[in-house]
Amino acid sequence: MRHLTAGQHALLETALQQQLQQLDRRLAEHLGGATRAEHARSVLLQDSDDAPQREAERELDQALGDRDTVALGTLSAALARLRDTEAGRYGLCADCDAEIPFDRLRVEPWALRCVPCQTAQEAGQRA
């Protein structure tokens, strides 16, 4: 991260920590919400035939939980890279070693790739 100043480094570390904390709170709320939904389902179970709708809601809960879990891993990994000043991999593109500009890192502090490589990666995933 030679292209990042100490001030930029500190700012990105703070941003990652804040996003991790927000995600932690959201996951906690999500788990609480699932418990409430579970209770509501058990109450409604015997007097309605909207099982397909409840199933869809359950799958939505599951998808949200999975996405947040993935985000938690992504943010944690970014914070670990940022703090590993010895390896110095933070802010360098995983594919081509280009320096990821601070302006991009400020928006996506977990970014692993420069914009051209990220675009290529996403195009490959869609193909």
Query: Which residues contact Zn ion (rule: CB under 5 A)?
Result: 93, 95-96, 98, 114, 117
**What is d(CA 65, CA 89) in angstroms, rounded to the nearest whole number?**
29
What is the token pair recorded at 30?
């999500």
Q: Which is nearer to Zn ion, 17 or 121 (CB)?
A: 121
As measured in angstroms, the least distance from the Cβ of 13 to Zn ion is 23
Which of residues 68 and 95 has its CB atom nearest to Zn ion in the complex?
A: 95
DSSP assignments along 9-71, one per residue: HHHHHHHHHHHHHHHHHHHHHHHHHHHHHHHHHHHHGGG---HHHHHHHHHHHHHHHHHHHHH
* Amino acid present at 32: G
**Smallest distance from the beta carbon of 36 to Zn ion, in angstroms?**
44
The residue among 9 and 113 lying less far from Zn ion, judged by its C-beta, is 113
Q: How far is the CB of 101 from Zn ion (least distance, A)?
A: 12
